[in-house]
Amino acid sequence: MTQTAQRTDQAAPAHPELAQVSGSMITSTAAKALAALRVSMGFVFLWAFLDKTFGLHYATPSAKAWINGGSPTKGFLASVEVGPFQSFFHAIAGTWWANGLFMLGLLAIGVALIAGVAMRIAATSGVLMLALMWFAEVPFAQFTSAGEPTGSPNPFADSHHIYAVVLVVLAATYAGTTWGLGATWARLPFVHRHRWAL
């Protein structure tokens, strides 16, 4: 009786707790955690859009809502008191195009993250928006242009920095496939040809 050698070139069966995500293996729990992080991050952007548009009495009273003639950028950008871009931010505060781009960005990034589509585009746009907001606040500055203390709690890592890191992680892990439409989005002919649109 002859013994046959066991083949080692065959793939081992997948572990029951692992989920296949875009060519890499992560646990299904990790995939769900990333999905929860993705949806939560999307809601941060979407909520900012909704509150600034309709004045839901959280950060924006109804009298200052965008639909009632308020400006989503004027208050924040006009109050910039630190950094080398202070005059630039003052110049664009409340302009129609700054308002429009800011609100379109909030809406598009929020919807894309919640739906799990266009993760690379959403992450890149989100990081750019957060970087501009970071440059407006310049958390490493200790004093304003008038010489007053800024009260910055952390010179390096603030919420803009943390949110940007989260967006990069979500895009790098293709986190739109769990609890999202990422797999369907990736099969679209345009997206299949242009991987930057994933």
Model pLDDT, residue 17: 43
User: Residue 18 pairs with which residues in a beta bridge?
Assistant: 27
> What is the signed CA dihedral for 101, 86, 144, 73, rounded to 10 degrees?
-20
Model pLDDT, residue 169: 96
- What are the distances in angstroms from CA 13 to CA 26, 30, 148, 179? 15, 20, 64, 25
Q: How confident is the model at residue 156 (pLDDT cuts 50, 70, 90)?
A: confident
Instruction: Give Cβ neighbours of residue 19 (< 8 Å, ≥ 6 apart).
Output: 25, 26, 27, 28, 31, 178
What's the mean pLDDT in 42-63? 96
What's the mean pLDDT in 174-186? 92
Cβ atoms within 10 A of the Cβ of 64, count?
Answer: 16
CA distance 44 to 159: 12
